[in-house]
Structure 1
Amino acid sequence: MTPRSMPWQRLPSSPTSDVIPPEPGPDPAVPPLPPEIAGWFAARGWRVRRHQWEMLAKAREGRHALLVADTGAGKTLAGFLPTLCDFAPSSGPGPGDGLHTLYVSPLKALAQDVKRNLLTPIEDIGLPIRVETRSGDTPSDRKKRQRERPPHILLTTPESLSLLLSYPESAELFAGLKRIVIDEVHAFATDKRGDLLALSLARLHALAPQAQRVALSATLANPRDFQEWLAPQSGEDGEIAAADLVLGEVGADPEVEILLPIEERVPWGGHAGRWAVPQLYEAIKANRTTLLFTNTRFLAEFIFQCLWEANEDHLPIGIHHGSLSTEARRKVEEAMSRGELRALVCTASLDLGIDWGDIDLVVQMGAPKGASRLLQRIGRAGHRLDTPSRAVLVPGNRFEFLEAIAAKQAVDEGQRDGEAFRPGSLDVLAQHVMACACAAPFHEDALLAEVRSALAYSWVDQATFARVLSFVSNGGYALKAYDRFQRIVRAKDGTWRLAHPNQAQRHRMNAGIIVDSEMLNVRFKNGRSLGKVEERFAAQLSPGDTFFFAGMSLEVEGVKDMDVVVRAAKKSATIPSYGGLRLPLTTHLATRVQGLLADRAGWGLFPDDVREWLEMQDYRSRLPAPGELLVESFPHGGKHYTAYYTFEGWNANQSLGMLITRRMEDRGLLPGGFVANDYCLAVWGLRAVTDPVPLLSPDILTDEFVEWVTESHLLRRAFREVAVISGLVERQQPGTRKTGKQVTFSTDLIYDVLKKYEPDHVLIEAAWADARARMTDVGRLAALLERSERELVHVTLDRVSPLAVPVMTMIGREAVPQGAVDDELLLEAEGLIAAAMRPDLPLEGD
């Protein structure tokens, strides 16, 4: 191995996937490019790639198509090339005025970046095309003008598209639409934003049946599922329609390295990777531009602060995440596009498709949690098909080191992972029905047929749709007596229409899919906005308190209404943390990590301290084999601990911990609590668990799970979200906005009414679907419990095992923001580590 004195160690690559690159060149059946566009390619020294020719052919045939191609392969240009050709003067009379092409992306920043890149060929060639963006950041006067005089190409997001479809002029606006380009489709097709987009596509198909659908992605593990999702379904013969698949030319293999401490040991716990800052700063100095990805907004602010403290050369370093103000994000994006920054610390806000060609190096702080996510982030470096993208992974602890190796191997082998599709959500359907009513009266049967043309909602039958309509109409049986829930009515001609014209404004003010915790603006006294922090964080602030945000130290002057008024401060240590779900460890990576643990021959490539850790675990206990559930029981500090090595992710482990402690209590084992990470769950109590099998029987999901979810905050939180998405509870009204506490109070009251008088309400059903599928990873939990009946191995030890140390170091720190206590964590865990790694050392207190 490379000596530790090197900036980072490079582990050997796994064999590359057995993929034969297709021969480049035009399809002879495709008419040649217009001379203006062919000349533009030639002037830049470019050739039209084979997949770009193929996408042009699909467009001319009117076929829906999914393009899967590596980063830097020109996917976006492939999606827009047919549009550019349509407007070329040599192609004959142009399409004229009106909306021609609609582009949908998951990120506002990506739409802005695509606009910049699209304008280059349009201006160079002199094409008569107007391009505009539309998102939540677009001024209202421009939005109004776009409805009256639309551009030829409109770049938008799923939420903004849904709102645009809610206007009466939408039928005329979209009537001449020719093409719909969906970028980075993997990023949102499988979640509720994908549900909303699927319904919007169904509406567009009704308004413009001639429009061709195109989707683009670099990281799909299951293209066939996305081909079916993309195509409109007829529902006539029962067969599932699918878009055509186009595979791109294969690019250069990425170069992925794993950073290790030069002299120190790989950390036992923590997630921030703070130890790596000196080495990363040297890497920033050695490259033109470095992009540093973090998995949370807190870590973005934390790592930026650490880098800024190390920035002796005063290099221009920026920060970008979703809670910063539009002005702050745009400023950073424009500085990056001009090549003015040496480094940028960011979150998933810049995951997708951003084309900044001068990025030399991508750094992933902490574990990537998925091979596809890592590949997407790596692709931001170089952004050219024939140039390897360079990336460095910075593991925060020993399990993350194994996860980094697993992710690197998956990337080297061309393997992908991704979320599975699930049935469309009923709360999103309710929001869509209301949007349709805002646009124009509708017939129930016609709208149902339209909804069912989206694969995600092809399961919706007439009875289910009638329940949704009843809810949108008056809130349902238990709520229909209240006037404020009366939103649509059935007219004498049988059509459904708005109960009052003001319902349209109320819908547009509150529609959306992303339900974050309530946010307060952070601004200076002069009104300049820096971004937003969560209400729960702001509630703890008093005048004179300081915190670090948007890359600056700030002092609180006051908290008024929905604003935190601040001024610059000299120093601050507190950083706002944000709620929200953790990135889940994919099943694919979890399986690979277990494979690494079982591959003893491969341990020789690991750093000495990691190898010793695994060897001592093998000597003291055993290592969990693939498909096996290892359970360890041991005493520590006067308590009895049980460690379950599930590898099913934090969400599933949290749920399992709650269920196991309930069963322990019923059996008199006096549970004290639990702590979990992605790999392991540790539960402790005053009495030892001698047989874990009864605690893990699968009936736990039909008995205790239902009782626990019903009693816990989970279902109430899920109901709060579906109530907001469906429009039952409004966050915003003209001139005022409800606080998070007010929204929660309203939804809790309604939840209690429905639970008592209408337990089968459509929103209770939607909340249960969320609680099961998203908040608790119940699918993975069920598979784990089924496996435990066959493959459970229980080991009883006299003290803590080496493999349990990373999760044990988290006890007492679950509520502390990640990265805040990494240094202290190691100091306090010294005794625990010594007990685990030295067989001759008696455990103190046992």
Structure 2
Amino acid sequence: MADSALTPFVLPEPFEAWFAGRGWQARPHQLALAEESLKGESALLIAPTGGGKTLAGFLGSLIELRERRRSANSDRPALHTLYISPLKALATDVQRNLMGPVEEMGLDIRIESRTGDTPSHVRQRQRRTPPDILLTTPEQLALFLASDHAREFFADLRCVIVDEVHAMAASKRGDLLALGLATLASWAPSCRFIGLSATVREPEALASWLAPDARVLMAEGGVSADVDILISKNRIPWSGHSGRFAVPDVYEAIKRATMTLVFVNTRSQAELMFQELWHANEDGLPIALHHGSLAREQRTKVEAAMAAGALKAVVCTSTLDLGIDWGEVDLVIQMGAPKGAARLIQRIGRANHRMDEASRAVLVPTNRFEVLECRAAEAAVEAGEIDGEGVREGSLDVLAQHVMGRACGDGFRLEELYDDIVRAAPYAWLDWETYERIVDFVASGGYALKTYDRFHRIVRRPDGVWVARTARDAQAHRMNVGAIVESHMLAVRLAQFIGKEKPGEKRSVRAGLKLGEMEEYFLSTLTPGDTFLFAGEVLRLVGVEGMDALVVRAVGDRPAIPSYNGGKFPLTTFLADRVRKMIHDPAQWDGLPDPVREWFEIQKQKSTIPPADHLLVETFPRADRHYLVCYPFEGRLAHQTLGMLLTRRLERMGAKPTGFVASEYAMAVWGMEDISEVDMDALFHPEMMGDDLESWLDESALMKRTFGHCAQISGLIHRNLPGKEKNSRQVSFSSDLIYDVLRSHEPDHILLQAARQDAATGLLDVRRLSDALVRIRGKIDHQALTKISPFAVPVMLEIGKEPVSGASVQDAILGEAEAELVRDAMG
């Protein structure tokens, strides 16, 4: 059980005086965490945004460093506290905020940060003479562990602070960090582990992820958030996610606030919304754009302007979800449904950033189903209910990377490394046989690859210690550390033309100012002369030279909108369940906008409203096709997997399916033959998750792509090598060749196993789909209709949508299709 954070612990006088000098008083949870820390106990602090979590995490270390001098067991100065943040910017921000109280209290404590941007000479100095407190990221910790004398460097470590634990634990990045923490626990037995987290669904499990004996401390108090849903004066679209219709209302809300964060769910939506707000910005308000593909200098400039209170609004993605304190922000606008209550609470906390003041947020649904999702999220926040992913089972490719890293550092003995690994919560399940297969894979590539010398990366010395085979192998590993596989990026740079333009001659051009980075696959869809949105501007592509996309600034009302991999959040199971119940219960329709209530009423007349635990399946003819539409509300990933599996089953039944489309809420499949006579219980039988799934996976390009990611993370293939970087085609070619070899000669290879695990848990959402099929077995409500139903309109509008087309063109096409579909469904 979680412990109440009430304690009689009293801070030392200089600390009490520092709080009092600001008119503050240390909160109970800050005192409780400081006490646990000083006792050498590990603990996880759960507190809302603005509750002073970060300062609470450091209090014990600051007191300890002040009151007693370090006693080192090694011949080098000792690192006392290691702080780990998911963001480089957060580590830098925490360093700045921590230096204030340290200097004001006159504490002789050295605090430094170490990120990918830290100059090499500073890193070398930090290794020779460590600071008292070092602030860094999970990747930098992995690099430390892969360095010579790493065990000695961390021997006297007393405290590890992991900030925003909830944001990392349920990911491969969290797997890598958990392995690093377990290593530190082995090397520094006196070290305590402090976790700082926003509200989570399973605090005890998260505490165990941090350290086996970590206690949970819950902050008490806090003010409920003030959440409203903006229903635009304009019509509510049936489909789409742009939110263009609501821009006038959003702009008015920005004008009334001091500073607003406008959150969107993808980088594409960020570019579009920023452009639309600028078109509406008749008052010349300072509005900025912030997302992960912009140049670091541009993001830093925006962050500095926010800190100075010089901006009226920032359109942003998850890059501003976490930790950094923007004191002037008093309104958060979420464009589109947040896809999860935990994510909404995290983003709401960006407003005010003070525990004792209500954060103010406005949700802007961008289509009719999102109205329901926003209502469900609002109700969950009001009820204090939370969703989110729990602690996951560790990935095998990450484990292989960690094994290689340990060999690159001081080396390892087989039994000792195994003991360290199973101490990490994500790998507590690991059996000795699987562990040996991983070590063999790192040592030789596995049975099918043994004859290729380049896959031999570690060797066992006569004394039984495993080490990197060569210095070059160790260097290659360090250049590729990390569990995030980025899509291949090209630098977007302004073109600089050389010389004067002459008739019939092409001017020479060179790369100029870098605006940011874009994914290669999107730029490959463009030809020179095409325009697109990026960094809040309309740009025209001049051409691609090497790793640079050269552009000039342009004008135009039909620029392409970049489509990015990643960044698309699935609807959580928790919110999906609330939405299903809301649809089934007419008593909950009263608070909905009139167009949505009318939509429900006509759906009830034309088809049916299913019970919350049933699956509605509708079949109907339209033009010269026959359609099947179902409404599982399980998220786009699960629905895409369902669509792929249903088309295979329908093919075997002779229904001749020709395509399918999936949304967050529904899935539609169509063909040339009548589908209405199909046995729906047989079609949706859970057995499809067996042989159908396996045979589809074996044939799909998805498995090759997933294998490629696993190959990079595990170190089998390196994108970055000394003196060169492979492009995406070279990486894909290498991984595809290896994939084909392993499928033919070693189908049970450990990396194929890792890829199947990845595809099932991530890209396909297999567990969620499987649970849904079991839940609705025998509860399928099939409606054989003569024409499209009101509920089917949104997913039918998804058919044929092209994500990179110009927004105005796309909206016009959708408008025509929508008018026709709505006439048929609602008439």
Q: What TM-score comes out, normalization by structure 2 length?
A: 0.94
Which piece of structure 1 moves more, 122-131 or 91-100?
91-100
What is the alpha-carbon distance in structure 1 between the residues aligned to residue 470 and residue 490 of structure 2?
32
The answer to whether the 8 A contact 2:717-2:735 is kept is yes
Deviations for 1:258-287, whole angstroms, at most 9, x for unmatched residues?
Answer: 11111x221111112111111111111111
Q: Aligned match of 2:468 in 498, 508, 524?
A: 498
Whether 1:651 aligns to 2:651 is: no
**Number of the residue aligned with 1:444:** 414
The answer to whether the 8 A contact 1:70-1:250 is kept is no
Q: Which amino acid aligns with 1:739?
A: N
What is the alpha-carbon distance in structure 2 between the residues aligned to residue 260 and residue 769 of structure 1?
42
What is the alpha-carbon distance in structure 1 between the residues aligned to residue 650 and residue 806 of structure 2?
29
What is the alpha-carbon distance in structure 1 between the residues aligned to residue 256 and residue 70 of structure 2?
49
Which piece of structure 1 moves more, 717-726 or 148-157?
148-157
Whether 1:212 aligns to 2:192 is: yes
Number of matched residues?
803
**Cα RMSD, aligned residues only:** 1.8
What is the alpha-carbon distance in structure 2 between the residues aligned to residue 753 and residue 179 of structure 1?
46
Q: Which amino acid aligns with 2:241?
A: H
Evaluate the alpha carbon distance shift between residue 208 and residue 645 of structure 1 in structure 2; reply closer, same or farther with a 3 A threshold: same
**Number of the residue aligned with 2:505:** none
The answer to whether the 8 A contact 1:299-1:818 is kept is no
Shift of 1:490: 1.2
Q: Aligned match of 1:668 in 654, 658, 675?
A: 654
**Number of the residue aligned with 1:254:** 225
The answer to whether the 8 A contact 1:21-1:250 is kept is no
SS at match of 1:605: coil
Deviations for 1:661-715, whole angstroms, at most 9, x for unmatched residues?
Answer: 1111111111121111111111111122223222111111111110001100121
SS at match of 2:206: helix
Evaluate the alpha carbon distance shift between residue 325 and residue 437 of structure 1 in structure 2; reply closer, same or farther with a 3 A threshold: same
Which piece of structure 1 moves more, 436-445 or 821-830?
821-830
Q: Percent identity?
A: 51
Q: Which amino acid aligns with 1:147?
A: R
Whether 1:435 aligns to 2:390 is: no
Whether 1:777 aligns to 2:765 is: yes
What is the alpha-carbon distance in structure 1 between the residues aligned to residue 399 and residue 335 of structure 2?
37
Whether 1:733 aligns to 2:710 is: no
The answer to whether the 8 A contact 2:561-2:804 is kept is no
Shift of 1:539: 2.0
Spell out the pairing of 1:674-713 with structure 2 (5 A cutoff): 674-689=660-675, 690=677, 691-713=679-701
What is the alpha-carbon distance in structure 2 between the residues aligned to residue 136 and residue 687 of structure 1?
57
**Number of the residue aligned with 1:802:** 790
What is the alpha-carbon distance in structure 1 between the residues aligned to residue 823 and residue 526 of structure 2?
40
**Number of the residue aligned with 1:364:** 334
Shift of 1:818: 10
Q: Which amino acid aligns with 1:620?
A: K
Shift of 1:642: 0.9
Q: Which amino acid aligns with 2:232?
A: P
Q: Which amino acid aligns with 1:145?
A: R
Which piece of structure 1 moves more, 352-361 or 787-796?
787-796
Q: Which amino acid aligns with 1:261?
A: S
Which piece of structure 1 moves more, 213-222 or 787-796?
787-796
Shift of 1:252: 0.7
Q: Aligned match of 1:716 in 682, 686, 704?
A: 704
**Number of the residue aligned with 2:503:** none
Spell out the pairing of 1:344-383 with structure 2 (5 A cutoff): 344-383=314-353
What is the alpha-carbon distance in structure 1 between the residues aligned to residue 60 and residue 46 of structure 2?
17
Q: Aligned match of 2:544 in 556, 559, 568?
A: 559
What is the alpha-carbon distance in structure 1 between the residues aligned to residue 3 and residue 235 of structure 2?
42
**Number of the residue aligned with 2:571:** 585
Q: Aligned match of 1:528 in 513, 529, 541?
A: 513
Shift of 1:547: 2.2
What is the alpha-carbon distance in structure 1 between the residues aligned to residue 561 and residue 107 of structure 2?
48
**Number of the residue aligned with 2:35:** 57
Spell out the pairing of 1:252-291 with structure 2 (5 A cutoff): 252-262=223-233, 264-291=234-261
Deviations for 1:483-512, whole angstroms, at most 9, x for unmatched residues?
Answer: 111111111122111111111111011121
**Number of the residue aligned with 1:47:** 25
Spell out the pairing of 1:185-584 with structure 2 (5 A cutoff): 185-231=165-211, 241-262=212-233, 264-524=234-494, 525=496, 527-571=512-556, 573-580=559-566, 582-584=568-570
SS at match of 2:261: strand
The answer to whether the 8 A contact 1:369-1:584 is kept is yes
Q: Which runs of 5+ in 1 are unaligned?
A: 1-19, 232-240, 839-846
What is the alpha-carbon distance in structure 2 between the residues aligned to residue 542 and residue 640 of structure 1?
37
The answer to whether the 8 A contact 2:150-2:410 is kept is no
The answer to whether the 8 A contact 1:531-1:550 is kept is yes
Deviations for 1:558-585, whole angstroms, at most 9, x for unmatched residues?
Answer: 3111111233334462232211262111
Spell out the pairing of 1:554-633 with structure 2 (5 A cutoff): 554-571=539-556, 573-580=559-566, 582-633=568-619
The answer to whether the 8 A contact 1:70-1:249 is kept is no
What is the alpha-carbon distance in structure 2 between the residues aligned to residue 642 and residue 360 of structure 1?
46
What is the alpha-carbon distance in structure 2 between the residues aligned to residue 398 and residue 480 of structure 1?
56
Shift of 1:814: 5.4
Evaluate the alpha carbon distance shift between residue 817 and residue 295 of structure 1 in structure 2; reply closer, same or farther with a 3 A threshold: farther
Shift of 1:542: 4.0
What is the alpha-carbon distance in structure 1 between the residues aligned to residue 813 and residue 14 of structure 2?
64
Q: Which amino acid aligns with 2:257?
A: N
What is the alpha-carbon distance in structure 2 between the residues aligned to residue 497 and residue 229 of structure 1?
28
Q: Aligned match of 1:113 in 75, 79, 93?
A: 93
**Number of the residue aligned with 2:51:** 73
What is the alpha-carbon distance in structure 1 between the residues aligned to residue 611 and residue 513 of structure 2?
56
Q: Which amino acid aligns with 1:552?
A: E
What is the alpha-carbon distance in structure 2 between the residues aligned to residue 243 and residue 288 of structure 1?
40
Shift of 1:540: 3.2
Evaluate the alpha carbon distance shift between residue 571 and residue 101 of structure 1 in structure 2; reply closer, same or farther with a 3 A threshold: farther
Shift of 1:816: 4.7
Which piece of structure 1 moves more, 784-793 or 449-458?
784-793
Q: Aligned match of 2:825 in 812, 836, 843?
A: 836
SS at match of 2:389: coil
What is the alpha-carbon distance in structure 2 between the residues aligned to residue 414 and residue 533 of structure 1?
39
Shift of 1:527: 4.1
Evaluate the alpha carbon distance shift between residue 261 and residue 629 of structure 1 in structure 2; reply closer, same or farther with a 3 A threshold: same
SS at match of 2:100: helix
SS at match of 1:790: coil
What is the alpha-carbon distance in structure 2 between the residues aligned to residue 580 and residue 713 of structure 1?
17
Deviations for 1:628-650, whole angstroms, at most 9, x for unmatched residues?
Answer: 11111111122111111111110
Evaluate the alpha carbon distance shift between residue 819 and residue 42 of structure 1 in structure 2; reply closer, same or farther with a 3 A threshold: farther
**Number of the residue aligned with 1:3:** none
Evaluate the alpha carbon distance shift between residue 501 and residue 94 of structure 1 in structure 2; reply closer, same or farther with a 3 A threshold: closer
Evaluate the alpha carbon distance shift between residue 56 and residue 73 of structure 1 in structure 2; reply closer, same or farther with a 3 A threshold: same
